[in-house]
Amino acid sequence: MEKILILLVDDEPDFLEIMSPVIENWGYSVIKAACGRDALDLMTTAKPDIIILDYMMPEMDGVATLRKIREIDKKIPVIMFTAHPNMKALKGTEKLGISAFIPKLSTYSDVSSSLKTTVEMLAKSINKKE
């Protein structure tokens, strides 16, 4: 069975460098994008299974990127990260179908459990199609 491919999108290079090996150690493959535009390019070329998307990014923020993602693929699971979790940050994402909304400062276990839940949901939807 192929490893699940995660597209990790964040404008902070340090965050990408820290989180990528952690996610890979959990058994996933990871590709990285430093902005929304790169994420959209990788979505169409690399075809990731799950996207972990930063909420706050310059030029195209997470919500704008998520809108574009939904134009390309309405069902791909998206986990949204934010350094500033609040109800205002959630606005605009609920109708765009995010699988989880995680504070960036949360523990790795929060990310791991959200990824596992998302992978399980993905597996169930694949099994329904077969």
Within 1-130, strands assigned E span 5-9, 29-33, 50-54, 78-82, 100-103
Which pairs from 95-98 meet CB under 8 Å and 24+ separation?
A: 96/63, 96/66, 96/67, 96/70, 97/70, 98/66
Q: Average of pLDDT values for 29-40?
A: 96
**pTM tops 0.95, yes or no:** no
Asked if pLDDT for residue 56 goes beyond 70, the answer is yes
pLDDT of residue 80: 84
Domains: count for the chain: 1
The pLDDT confidence band at residue 72, using thresholds 50, 70 and 90, is very high
Domain ranges, residue 56: 5-129
CATH number at residue 30: 3.40.50.2300
Asked if pLDDT for residue 115 goes beyond 60, the answer is yes
> What would the pLDDT profile of 76-90 be if each residue is shown by its tens digit?
999 888 776 555 655
